[in-house]
Amino acid sequence: MSKSLKRVRAALEGHAAEIVEAGEARTAQMAADAVVCHVDQIAKSIIFRGESSGRAVLFITAGGNQVDHVRATALAGEELGKADAALIREQTGFAIGGVAPIGHLNPIRAFLDPRLLDFETVWAAAGTPRHVFSIPPRDLESLSGAQVAAFTV
C-alpha cells in the first residue's frame, strides 16, 4: 500500500468511509461510472497556488462543476494561479491525479462546494489515481476543515 493511501486511510479512521479500487478514472465521469454514482457525487480536489502566499489552496468541487476563478479568488483573498506538480506534491504529499481532500502533509486552506451536501454519500480520491473513498459529505467537510462556499460556475 502506498504512503499516500495509508495517510488517507489513517485520516478516515473512526469515520463511516470505504476505500475501493476504482481502476483508471481520469475524469469525474469515469470515477462516477466506476463506483456507480451521479457525477456530482464525485468530490474533485482542485488545487490552486496563492500568488501572494505561494501556498496551495484546495477547492473540493462536485464532479460536474467547475471552479469560477473570480469567486475562488475572492474567497482565497488573493489572486490564484495554476499549481504545478511540484507545489502540489510538496504541500499535500499527493501526486496530480490522486490528490485526496484529506490526509495532506501540511495544513491547507480548503473550500467545499455546497452541491456536495445534496447527497448522502460522496466519493473522493484516496491518494492514488486508482483509489477512491466514500464518505458522508458533512464528514468530508469536517475532516478536510473546508469552509462551505459558492465558488463554481
Q: Within 10 A of 19 (CB to CB), how many other CB atoms are there?
A: 18
pLDDT in tens, the chain (153 residues): 899 999 999 999 999 899 999 988 889 999 999 999 999 999 999 999 999 999 999 999 999 999 999 999 999 999 999 999 999 999 999 999 899 999 999 999 999 999 999 999 999 999 999 999 999 999 999 999 999 999 999
Contacts 24+ apart (CB under 8 A), 94-97: 94/4, 94/125, 94/127, 95/4, 95/129, 97/26, 97/125, 97/129
Question: Which residues have a Cβ under 8 Å from the Cβ of 71 and sit 6 or more positions away?
Answer: 150, 151, 152
pLDDT at 120 (0 to 100): 98
pLDDT at 25 (0 to 100): 83
Does the reported pTM lie above 0.85? yes
pLDDT at 130 (0 to 100): 93
